[in-house]
Amino acid sequence: MQLIDGKKISQQLKEEIAAQVETMIAAGRRRPHLAAVLVGHDGGSETYVANKVKACEACGFTSTLIRREADVTEDELLSIVHSLNNDPEVDGFIVQLPLPKHISEQKVIEAIDYRKDVDGFHPINVGRQSIGLPCFHSATPAGILELLARYEIPTKGKHCVVLGRSNIVGKPVATLMMQKGYPGNATVTVCHSATPNIKEICRSADIIIAALGQPGFVTADMVKDGATIIDVGTTRVPDASKKSGFRLCGDVDFENVAPKCAYITPVPGGVGPMTIASLMKNTLLAADGNLFND
């Protein structure tokens, strides 16, 4: 069994990006600039945004954090989006989700100029990704493919079972895994809450990508010997022994599943850091400015 070290790979990726930034600077260009909008004080969101700001530093990017309290109106938030759209000094930006219930997340996502939508959530980027056109790939799926590529895990003709059909992981990663090229060219099955025989389907999988948000859902009896397991779950489970009061739990019963696998990602330290590294890569692409000029 080989552990897929997302922390190490994301570190490599950030170093590669930092080197490209230095080349840009040497060529007289300014640093890539990522802005993040954070509404309220959700614990998870605070952590994610802090990690994104830290990753910007590691990559040599400029970063701007725009904070608003949870009672910000939708109109105020939309006007922030519009000013970021029109700010030539900002290459890309994200609005950290989830947003308070009185704000339509979809409306906010669609208000973002797709050329600055480094999260890859805008319908134009989702559509272009599905068609196979240049675009901002959504960060978690792109991070998963990067891990498969860096560990040279075969995907062509393999059976890839995706657990979950969310718009930010399940559906886009399924699309990417079935597309021509590497990583990809896999036979892809998408399972979800309405699938009656998930265990049986998982047992036929060469690669399982678990993105259900159900701690420990994938058990050893669901995994074929020699399979590759990508665990996207990051559920916060209360844990009094931790300083933070919780621990992050993946969708996979790591302890019992790991011995059967060829490759497996840990939680934390697997897909999570790769999501942020993908966001950095998208920001570099945004700053480069040639993605949509085909």
Residues of span 120-179 touching a second copy by CB under 8 A = 122-128, 130-133, 156-157, 165, 167, 171-172, 174-175, 178-179
The single residue of 5, 91, 96, 281 carrying the catalytic annotation is: 96
> Considering the rule CB under 8 A, would residue 265 count as an interface residue with a second copy?
no
- Binders of a second copy: how many residues, by CB under 8 A? 36
> Considering the rule CB under 8 A, would residue 196 count as an interface residue with a second copy?
yes
Shortest gap between Cβ of 143 and a second copy (angstroms)? 19
> Considering the rule CB under 8 A, would residue 68 count as an interface residue with a second copy?
no
Which 8-state DSSP code applies to residue 36?
A: E
> Considering the rule CB under 8 A, would residue 112 count as an interface residue with a second copy?
no
From the list 23, 26, 152, 194, which residue makes contact with a second copy (rule: CB under 8 A)?
A: 194
From the list 62, 187, 235, 256, which residue makes contact with a second copy (rule: CB under 8 A)?
A: 187
Closest CA relative to residue 190, chosen from 210, 172, 165, 208 = 165
Instruction: Say whether 222 sits in a helix, a strand or coil.
Output: helix
From the list 39, 153, 176, 190, which residue makes contact with a second copy (rule: CB under 8 A)?
A: 190
Closest CA relative to residue 160, chosen from 199, 187, 191, 181 = 187
Is 206 one of the annotated active-site residues of the chain?
A: no
Category of 155 on φ-ψ map: left (φ > 0), alpha (ψ -120 to 50) or beta: alpha
Closest CA relative to residue 139, chosen from 113, 176, 183 = 176
Tokens of 127: 């559509």
Nearer to a second copy, 38 or 186 (CB): 186
- Is 11 exposed, middle or buried (CB count within 10 Å of its CB: 0-12, 13-18, 19+)? middle
> Considering the rule CB under 8 A, would residue 85 count as an interface residue with a second copy?
no
Shortest gap between Cβ of 294 and a second copy (angstroms)? 9
Is 199 one of the annotated active-site residues of the chain?
A: no
Letter string b/e over residues 63-94, b meaning 16 or more CB atoms within 10 A of that residue's CB: bbeeeeeeebeeeebbebbeebbeeeebbbbb
Q: Where does this chain bind a second copy (CB under 8 A)?
A: 106, 122-128, 130-133, 156-157, 165, 167, 171-172, 174-175, 178-180, 185-192, 194-197, 201
Report, as residue numbers or ranges, the catalytic residues: 52, 96, 119
